[in-house]
């Protein structure tokens, strides 16, 4: 079975966020235990599994995502990676519709080679910072927001970009503070550099201490910063060691995430289901 490793939200290899992608020929997914074993073996922040659906339905492909430790409801970068593989291998053109735990998602190829994902906008709810969060994160929050059912993160606004970049969290302590992880963010120090806000994502509860570029987090970052800046179209920089850019467009209940991807490994999985 063919397996690809794709760097997402980047235009060059060895940056952005790597994802495993397996396109299955079957009409259904194998047992979740088997998918989890493969994702654990691949050992990237996400491995995506997709299989084709019959023509005429509401979606073209069924899609699931697994971290090395668990299945998740929503993943942006592995969806971008999957769409990239479908387009570059000739399995799809134009817009691809996926059905997943979080509903129907789409990916549309753009003339410049980028892909635009259409995801549900996260419903933000401001909360009081829980006791111990500042100590676990290593910085005092300016504000804290819950991001809703499918993401399950705490969105934590910090004082400035330098504070976000300097974070060195206590990952074991962070596990207690959200269902999935912590998104730390601040406004860009210099928007002339090509981005409006920065973020970093920490997800030790699902086996990922720091995620390089988290597409799903931008469905929460987009409404948060669009409200602050008064603009619906923004660009976010996830300031991890690998780094990546996500262009966001808030469209009410939907958020568009645009980025590029690069296949770095194209090989064969030498096992069966």
Active site positions, annotated: 46
Instruction: List CB contacts of 193: < 8 A, sequence separation 6 or more.
Output: none
- Burial degree of 71 (CB within 10 A; 0-12, 13-18, 19+): middle
Apex 228 CA angle, 227 and 230, nearest 5: 65
CB-CB contact of 44 with 66 (8 Å) = no
């Amino acid at each position: 079975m063919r397996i690809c490793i794709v760097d997402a939200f980047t235009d060059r290899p060895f940056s952005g966020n790597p994802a495993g992608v397996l396109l299955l020929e079957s009409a259904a997914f194998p047992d979740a235990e088997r998918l989890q074993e493969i994702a654990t073996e691949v050992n990237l922040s996400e491995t995506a599994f997709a299989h084709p659906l019959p023509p005429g339905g509401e979606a073209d492909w069924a899609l699931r995502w697994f971290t090395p430790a668990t299945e998740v409801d929503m993943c942006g970068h592995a969806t971008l990676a999957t769409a990239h593989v479908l387009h570059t291998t000739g399995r799809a053109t134009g817009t691809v519709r996926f059905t997943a735990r979080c509903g129907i998602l789409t990916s549309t190829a753009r003339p410049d080679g980028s892909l635009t994902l259409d995801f549900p906008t996260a419903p933000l709810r401001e909360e009081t910072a829980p006791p111990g969060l500042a100590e676990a994160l290593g910085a005092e929050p300016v504000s804290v927001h819950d991001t809703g059912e499918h993401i399950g993160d705490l969105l934590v606004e910090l004082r400035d970009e330098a504070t976000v970049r300097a974070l060195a969290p206590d990952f074991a302590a962070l596990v207690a503070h959200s269902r999935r992880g912590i998104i730390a963010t601040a406004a860009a120090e210099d928007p002339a550099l090509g981005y409006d806000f920065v973020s970093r994502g920490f997800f030790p509860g699902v086996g990922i201490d720091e995620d390089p570029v988290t597409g799903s987090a931008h469905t929460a970052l987009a409404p948060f910063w669009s409200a602050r800046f008064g603009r619906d179209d923004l660009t976010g920089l996830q300031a991890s060691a690998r780094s990546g850019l996500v262009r966001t467009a808030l469209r009410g209940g939907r958020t568009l995430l645009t980025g590029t991807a690069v296949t770095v490994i194209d090989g064969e999985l030498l096992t069966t289901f």
